[in-house]
Amino acid sequence: MSRRLATLFAAAGLLLGGCATISDGLDAINPFSSSGPKMAPLPPLKSTADVRIAWSASIPKAGDYSFTPAVVEGVVYAAGAKGTLSRIEDGKTVWKIDADQPLSAGVGANHKLVVVATPKGEVLAFAADDGKPLWKAKVSSEVLASPVVGDDGVVVKSGDNQVFLLDATDGGRKWAYQRATPPLSVRSAGSPVLADRYVFVGYPGGKLVALAIQNGAPVWEGTVALPKGATELDRVADVVAPPVVDGRQICAVAFQGRIACFDMGQGGAMVWSRDISSVSGLAMDGRYLFVTDDKGTVYGLDRLSGSSLWKQDKLKNRRLSAPVIRRGLVVVADAEGIVHFLSREDGSFAARQKTDGTPVRAPLQALGSAVLVQTTGGEVSAIEVQ
């Protein structure tokens, strides 16, 4: 495996797997190694925006997994690998519980339910108000992607790329969806996305699939990228980050592939595509689409045509998170726990904020006017944009 590819998988906290197990010859790779191309030094910065850490809370470390905090009406739910789950309000821990087993994914939540998952494929649900255990369910394999809690139930994507809809009241299985996958694929921590009447899921082989929420039937399938190359490794072209949805438009990006946007009102017809490879993901607002590629470049694109507006390439090899948009700024975090604020209009650096110095693998979350950051070292911080 090339050094460049090993570094890319380190950036996303991902492993290569052949079917349900790690492929022969690849299991010696440490996906969280710091080896690889040297990170670009940070350029001098003259701040044009005021940012500050509004509050910070400690939770157990993420270990070899990626935990994304959930935000529900200003309340934060966060988890760590050792099994701790916390409810945090304005930086204060309201309750903290121990799930009594290691965790591998979380958190999914609404105002009633908080859901996490384990390396053994167990899905655990707790009451949002007091952390009381409610139910436990089992899926086909370890869960790497945060469960998604919606009005119709809890959507879980397992590590073998099966998708399940569980009943929110008791964890009973409503339906399951399975499809064939290539012999070599990236183990993905990218969650499904609920929108309208559908569950949108990215798959190995560059596919974006829309499933009917009522019965799990595939409604349409979009090709984000086409695998190409002489070897199985060259042909890895997987959608590993969650798609983004706004109105009728849904966009997704593939590793060793491209960005593609589709019109949901026209049965998933492709609107545009362009070659950009990413293991991190996208953000979209009313005018623009933003993406961090696998080399550490942040792009601003026109969301209607895909044409380039700007690119910021001074964060090369810094293993950037997916972007989030806050108050006219595009925000990404890196492998040193530094959060970078870029101008939405031209990509110039506007501000910079340090956290605990450990990598940020989880997607950043919006929290009011703040950005919520969870580091692998166990710090959850709300960074306020003034």
> Is 16 domain-assigned?
no
- What pLDDT score does 184 carry? 87
The SS3 call for residue 311 is strand
Q: What is the pLDDT of residues 262-303, one digit of tens each?
A: 999 899 999 999 999 999 999 999 999 999 999 999 999 999
Q: What residues contact 258, with CB distance under 8 A and at least 6 apart?
A: 224, 225, 273, 274, 275, 276, 277
Rg (CA), the chain: 19
> Is 23 domain-assigned?
no
How many structural domains compose the chain? 3
Would you give the DSSP letter of residue 21? B
> Is 28 domain-assigned?
no
Per-residue HEC secondary structure of 221-261 comes to EEECCCCCCCCCCCCCCCCCCCCEEECCEEEEECCCCCEEE
> Is 18 domain-assigned?
no
The proportion of the chain whose per-residue pLDDT surpasses 70, expressed as a percent, equals 91
35 pLDDT band, cuts 50/70/90, is low
Distance CA 219, CA 259 (A): 21
Closest CA relative to residue 347, chosen from 318, 375, 325: 325
> Is 148 domain-assigned?
yes
The secondary structure of 156-174 as a DSSP string is EE-TTS-EEEE-TTT--EE
- pTM of the full structure: 0.91
- Peptide bond just before 107 cis, omega within 30 deg: yes
Residue ending a domain, among 155, 182, 209, is 182
> Is 110 domain-assigned?
yes
Full domain range(s) for residue 339: 40-60+278-386
- What pLDDT score does 27 carry? 28
- What pLDDT score does 364 carry? 96
CATH of the domain at 150: 2.40.128.630
Distance CA 313, CA 300 (A): 12
